[in-house]
Amino acid sequence: MELGMLSTSLPIKRELTAASLGFREPTHNSLDAVSDRDFAADFLYACAVTMMHLSRLAEEIRTRTGVRVERQKQALDALRAELTEEEQTLLVLRIDQQLSWDEIAEVMGDAAAPLDAAALRKRFERLKEKLTKLAKERGLVA
């Protein structure tokens, strides 16, 4: 194995240069002068390779998660489509709009036939049971 030795063709005085830089004496060979920085270069290379792999891993996780979330959203939209219009309205008002039971009773009822908030809560419980059953049948939940 051949080792390359670094030097310069410039007429420098090694002792004067070493003293100017605050060293005790000039190095005996070029390997002594550069070997101390090799570990830093190796460490930085390892960090760069690690970051590249982590970036690839993060991109793969993001892509797979995005696809899974989109599939789940489509499956949930399909479940909602199977509900009656009244059930969908109740679900939207309670979950999406976050209205109180009294507010939902006011929105869904009319002057001739007002709705009771307690009855709506019971209807909502039955709706949750129905959705849970449908989701289990389709393998969306365990």
pLDDT digits (tens, 9 = 90+) for 52-93: 999 999 998 888 888 888 888 898 889 889 899 999 999 999
Please tell me the predicted confidence (pLDDT) of residue 33: 67
Q: Which three-class secondary structure state does DSSP give residue 113?
A: coil
Residues in the chain: 142
CA dihedral 24, 27, 28, 31 (to 10 degrees): 150
Retrieve residue 141's tokens: 């939940």
Predicted TM-score (pTM) of the model is 0.51
Q: Sorting pLDDT into bands at 50, 70 and 90, what band is 1?
A: very low
Tens digit of each residue's pLDDT (9 = 90 or more) over 82-132:
899 999 999 999 999 999 999 998 888 887 777 888 999 999 999 999 999
Round to whole Å and give the CA distance between 52 and 101.
52
